[in-house]
Amino acid sequence: MTNCKDKLPRIMTVDDETEVTAIICDYFRAEGFEINGYTDSHAALLALGESTVLPDVILVDIMMPSIDGYEFSRRLQAEPRLKDIPVIFLTGKDRGDDALTFLKSGGQLYVKKPFHLSELKNLVMLSTQVGFQT
């Protein structure tokens, strides 16, 4: 996905913790980004399936009820129109605990909670640069 210098990437965030979703959305909106937040992974997948304008990057929590972040990412990978959207995992888990699952599910980056929003912004910008996708 290519971004013009004057266009910020569109973001989707999916985290079952309402407060985390609100904080991320508020921060990125204040920074000028277009962002949609979901606290339910089913709703986020439905929105992606119905949307004509897709996000440039998805931030997804790993530990969620029903569809966890890994399964969410696997479902994206199975859809031709969604498989190239970079996924950044957000979690309180240590990556070492799930390194193989992380790699197999198609995630590009991993951010441990708590994180600094400015660092998350830098990762969003990095992940949407040409050629970053795996």
pLDDT in tens, 4-27: 445 899 999 999 999 999 999 999
Domain assignment of residue 70, yes or no? yes
Instruction: Kindly tell me if the per-residue pLDDT of 73 is higher than 60.
Output: yes
- pLDDT grade, residue 100 (50/70/90)? low
**Domain contains 134:** no
Q: What's this model's pTM, rounded to 2 decimal places?
A: 0.87
Tell me which of 14 and 131 has the higher pLDDT: 14
Q: What is the DSSP letter of 2?
A: -
Task: Please enumerate in sequence order all residues whose Cβ is within 8 A of that of 70, keeping only pairs 6 or more positions apart, or say none.
Answer: 62, 98, 101, 102, 105, 107
Q: Is 95 helix (H, G, I), strand (E, B) or coil?
A: helix
In a domain, 37, yes or no: yes
pLDDT digits (tens, 9 = 90+) for 84-97: 999 999 988 665 55
- Integer Cα distance of 99 and 122 in angstroms: 22
Q: What percent of the chain has pLDDT over 70?
A: 84
Domain count, the chain: 1
Residue 118 lies in a domain: no
124 in any annotated domain: no
The enclosing domain of 54 has a CATH number of: 3.40.50.2300
Range of the domain at 31: 11-113
Asked whether residue 42 is domain-assigned, the answer is yes
